[in-house]
């Protein structure tokens, strides 16, 4: 039998424990217009169901393979919270998920997000989901649903973390795999939009703790504040990679995230193949030089932590290089020949020096 309370002392409640169900419902109402824009014809129903429904039209495919990826944005959320700017962090989340999917040639179909907060602030949740929905639109996938969980006592009021899962599809015979890479292939780089969403623990330690820089301080090399630079959204390459795969014989892609260029490129190389990357082919953005100089960070540490200005690499036959560069240029993606593939023990050689770095 449940105890019966009496007297002037109010009984315990979920709200008194820190969970505001009404605020959660207001957050759903606030985010609904943004989420509904990130749609595809295969989506059944709308926001509010227990499960997102996606009608996979099997007849469109001969031998379909589903691809799935889950990721977050790391401690970049700390910058968003410190700047009280939450409408771009969702773009980062989508990029980290869908750009992993397209590495194997998969078309992103849908995403679901998970937002854990110390206290639900409807306007904050709506801003985060606005970014996620915008990212899904850029990637051509649907935002199929998500979850917002209030964790009082576990997280500070105003604090949050986000993660997401995406699902894509690719024909089995069109999958991009390391075993397709051949000696003589060429590496084509796609430029990054700053740090993307990796290495922020080191970046924050150097710039905020060691250098004592202010997020609100103007940085001449950037032309804006440090905080604005650190919140530049991660470039979403999904549609660009799919266009490249449709128009060239691309072997595979490498998404340059945690671990840097060398380690991520090595992940898509087969045995007996070694890649050579020429540092002289590009100049990293000023933010990388700032971190390296203010923290006296060695080059090897920089290159295994950050993308150093390369967000995605396409590995393709030499005969397709000119076409690939034309496709990417037409899509306004900075691109250049980064290096080549030869025979040898599997791995990546980083050669030469960056101009002005």
Same domain, 162 and 192: no
Q: How many domains does the chain have?
A: 2
Tens digit of each residue's pLDDT (9 = 90 or more) over 221-241: 999 999 999 999 999 999 999
Based on C-alpha coordinates, what's the Rg of the chain?
23
Q: With 0-12 CB in 10 A as exposed, 13-18 as middle and 19+ as buried, what is 218?
A: exposed
The pLDDT of residue 13: 46
Same domain, 170 and 201: no
- Residues in contact with 44: Cβ distance below 8 Å, sequence separation at least 6, in sequence order: 53, 54, 55
* Residue 270: CB atoms within 10 Å: 15
- Tell me, what CATH number does 119's domain have? 3.30.1330.10
The pLDDT of residue 30: 61
Tens digit of each residue's pLDDT (9 = 90 or more) over 153-211: 888 888 999 999 999 999 999 999 999 999 999 999 999 999 999 999 999 999 999 99
The pLDDT of residue 341: 98
Instruction: Single out the residue of 233, 250, 234 nearest to residue 242, CA to CA.
Output: 250
Q: Write down which residue in 141, 174, 207 finishes a domain.
A: 174
CB 254, CB 313: distance < 8 Å: yes
- Report pTM: 0.90
- Tell me, what CATH number does 312's domain have? 3.90.650.10
CB 44, CB 54: distance < 8 Å: yes
Same domain, 207 and 131: no
Same domain, 166 and 276: no
Q: Write down which residue in 156, 174, 192 finishes a domain.
A: 174
Same domain, 78 and 222: no
The pLDDT of residue 34: 62
| Domain that residue 345 falls in | 178-351
Q: Write down which residue in 174, 202, 219 finishes a domain.
A: 174
Q: Which residues of the chain are under the pLDDT cut of 70?
A: 1-35, 46-48
What would the two tokens of residue 257 be? Answer: 């995230």
The pLDDT of residue 154: 86
């Amino acid at each position: 039998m449940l105890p019966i309370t009496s007297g002037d002392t109010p009984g315990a409640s979920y709200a008194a424990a820190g969970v505001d169900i009404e605020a959660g419902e207001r957050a759903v109402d606030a985010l609904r217009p943004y989420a509904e824009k990130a749609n595809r014809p295969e989506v059944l129903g709308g926001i509010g169901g227990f499960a997102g429904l996606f009608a996979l039209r099997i007849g469109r495919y001969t031998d379909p393979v589903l691809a799935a990826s889950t990721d977050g944005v790391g401690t970049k959320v700390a910058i968003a919270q410190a700047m009280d700017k939450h409408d771009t962090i969702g773009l980062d989340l989508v990029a980290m998920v869908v750009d992993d999917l397209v590495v194997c040639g998969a078309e992103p179909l849908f995403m679901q997000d998970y937002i854990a907060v110390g206290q639900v602030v409807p306007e904050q949740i709506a801003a985060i989901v606005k970014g996620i929905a915008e990212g899904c639109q850029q990637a051509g996938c649907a935002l199929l649903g998500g979850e917002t969980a209030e964790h009082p006592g576990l997280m500070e009021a105003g604090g949050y973390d986000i993660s997401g899962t995406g699902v894509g599809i690719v024909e089995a015979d069109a999958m991009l795999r390391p075993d397709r890479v051949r000696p003589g292939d060429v590496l084509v780089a796609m430029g990054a939009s700053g740090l993307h969403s990796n290495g922020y623990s080191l970046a924050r330690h150097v710039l905020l703790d060691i250098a004592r820089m202010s997020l609100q301080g103007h940085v001449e090399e950037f032309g804006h504040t440090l905080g604005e630079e650190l919140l530049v959204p991660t470039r979403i390459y999904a549609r660009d990679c799919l266009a490249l795969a449709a128009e060239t014989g691309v072997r595979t892609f490498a998404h340059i995230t945690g671990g840097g260029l060398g380690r991520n490129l090595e992940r898509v190389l087969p045995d007996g193949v070694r890649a050579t990357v020429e540092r002289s082919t590009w100049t990293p953005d000023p933010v990388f030089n700032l971190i390296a100089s203010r923290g006296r960070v060695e080059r090897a540490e920089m290159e295994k932590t950050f993308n150093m200005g390369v967000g995605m690499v396409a590995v393709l036959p030499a005969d397709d290089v000119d076409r690939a560069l034309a496709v990417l240029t037409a899509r306004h993606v900075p691109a250049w020949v980064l290096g080549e593939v030869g025979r040898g023990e599997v791995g990546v050689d980083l050669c030469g020096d960056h101009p002005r770095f």
